[in-house]
Amino acid sequence: MTDEKFIRYVILLSVRPGQKPTEALIRAHVAHLKELDKRGQYVLGGPFQDYKGGMLILKAASREEAKRTAEADPFIRDGFETYELRTWELSCEENNHMGMG
């Protein structure tokens, strides 16, 4: 069984065709990210340079919590972007590279 401290959730964001964000929507998205950071959930995030969309990596207690967090993002909630949610198991020295190192 995987130790939950080695799990992160990846939200892959894709801009819906024909959509243009307003400044207000971008500011609401950034406020959402700042709130996640304040709660200790935000790990990394940002837009792709070669694709219309971005990625957010976060900590969450469960996949269900990560899904709720994704759907609370104004970019997703307001229909500007769609998302895919991935559960990511970290490979690192602390977990002996998933027991294989």
For residues 65 and 47, give the distance between their C-alpha atoms in angstroms, rounded to a whole number: 22
- If one counts the domains in the chain, the total is 1
Q: pLDDT per residue over 45-95, tens digit each? A: 999 999 999 999 999 999 999 999 999 999 999 999 999 999 999 888 877
CATH number, domain with residue 62: 3.30.70.1060
Structural domain for 25, as ranges: 4-99
The model carries a pTM of 0.89
Per-residue pLDDT at 20 exceeds 70: yes
CA atoms within 13 A on the CB side of 44: 7
